[in-house]
Each structure stands twice: as structure tokens, then as C-alpha cells.
Amino acid sequence: MLRKTVLETICLLFILLFVYTAVSKLLDYENFRVVIGQSPLLTRFAPVLAIVVPLAEILIALLLVIPRYRRLGLYASFAMMVLFTTYIIVLVTLSERIPCSCGGVISRMTWKQHLYFNIGFVLLALLGMWLHTKQPSDPPRQTKLVHA
């Protein structure tokens, strides 16, 4: 029961995160597109990423909502958060000017806060994947003795 509750909570947190950030990016689409266009790593891909990233976030949220696709949603959440975290690490390490293309209140975080936040969600995704694949132990079978 606890395993299911923790798993549901993790999925809900990712659903809220991805829907919130996707909607924030889409509502302020022009700014999002311009900001990712200023990124030294993403300039070339900005027009495509401005659409793909929020749509991917919504798709992942939908996968997490549908129990049949929840495992795929957890793996996709993990992949997305690893990509975002890697992007932050590379930018902080290699770039002097670091534009933030995140949506909503998340864009107000410092880069260090972003990094901790993302690492926390990477760990949550790992826990969710583990909980989803961990099967509850089957009760031990009782063997009936048959007398001849």
C-alpha cells in the first residue's frame, strides 16, 4: 500500500511539474523561443525546441496519467530530467551568459537551485521506476501433503 501511495505521489509531482512548465512556456511562447535562441548550445534548434519541449512535457504527463503507460512515462520523466540537468551543468560550466528558458516560478530559481531541484526530480524518477518495476512478494505457497 505504501509503495503504491509513494508511486502515485511521484507521478503526481511529475504531472504537475510538466503540465505547469509546458503551459508556462506555451503561454509565453515568444519569450521562451527567444530565450532558448540565446543559448549558446540551442540557438540552431530554438524554433523546433520551442514547440517540441512543451509538447514533450505534456505527452509525458499524459503517459503518467494513464496507468497502462505509467512505466514509459516514468522512464521519459527520468530522461527529460537528465537532459535538463545535463544542460544546466554544461551551461554553468562552459558559458559566461546563461539564459533561462524555464517556465513560471521555476525561472526565478538560481542555477544552483535549478540543479538541486532537477537532481531531486531525477532521484524521484529513479525511485518511481524502481517502485513501478518492483513486484510485491507473492505469499508463500502452502504445500498440501497427500496421504496415500
Q: How confident is the model at residue 145 (pLDDT cuts 50, 70, 90)?
A: low
Q: How confident is the model at residue 146 (pLDDT cuts 50, 70, 90)?
A: low
Alpha-carbon Rg for the chain in angstroms:
20
Instruction: Tell me which residue of 114, 19, 94 sits closest to 59, measured CA to CA.
Output: 19
Q: How confident is the model at residue 125 (pLDDT cuts 50, 70, 90)?
A: very high
List of residues 6+ apart from 23 with CB closer than 8 A: 54, 103
* Residue-level pLDDT at 36: 87
Taking only the tens place, the pLDDT of each residue in 7-58 is 999 999 999 999 999 999 999 899 889 888 888 788 899 999 999 999 999 9
Q: Which of 64-73, 81-90, 103-112 shows the lowest per-residue confidence on average (mean pLDDT)?
A: 103-112
Task: Report H helices in the chain.
Answer: 2-27, 29-37, 46-65, 70-94, 111-133
